[in-house]
Structure 1
């Protein structure tokens, strides 16, 4: 049996085995983070990068609700300005995030770059349709020329 030492409290100072239910959480239905109130978890999710926030939705229906209740703020201008060739990749990532988010969206704020190219016009129309279908309440869209 593997042993470890912990001094987080006087109760655990010294050796404990991994089979100790107080250490392993055996018999508990959820972890410490899951015991936090929704407003605290929502604040945590809102601070995550969009890709990581989206991954929390896979944890449980509660986490899916938390992600869906957060404003979706995507700001891709730094990526695009650092390398204009990233425009297509960033556009695809944003589109994937819109599709993956269950909606409704409370708030979406986007600063991006679209040229007059047909593919850019299509992407912009697609975004607006997706956001409308997912009942966006507040939309701020800025096109950086």
Structure 2
């Protein structure tokens, strides 16, 4: 086999290329409950957020991705979001972190939790649109006092 330079000298119009084929496959867990993620989001009166999820951070950037989801969905700075380590005391029945599925599963769980929080805080946001999450949570906690 000739090297690339020799090939191009001999073939003026024919070029070598590279092909990439995307592949999508299912998670293949037969037990349906293993194909879902869990997340717990706690909002504190100082405006900070504690995120707990069932994934395992092992260098793939899972925590960073999930912090970004919370930041965008709740419209708060990334610095206000903190992640607790995975524990069955906060998020039970976690699935395995395998096949690059954690970002999808736990990202969707975090997204769902953020949507629930936004729905619950919506009346306070409508009443005080110029306020921040910190003030809305303060109004929400006053309701329980």
TM-score clears 0.5: no
**TM-score normalised by structure 2 residue count:** 0.21
Larger helix percent: 1
Larger strand percent: 1
Structure with higher Rg: it is 2
**TM-score normalised by structure 1 residue count:** 0.21
Higher relative contact order (CA 8 A, sep 6+): 2
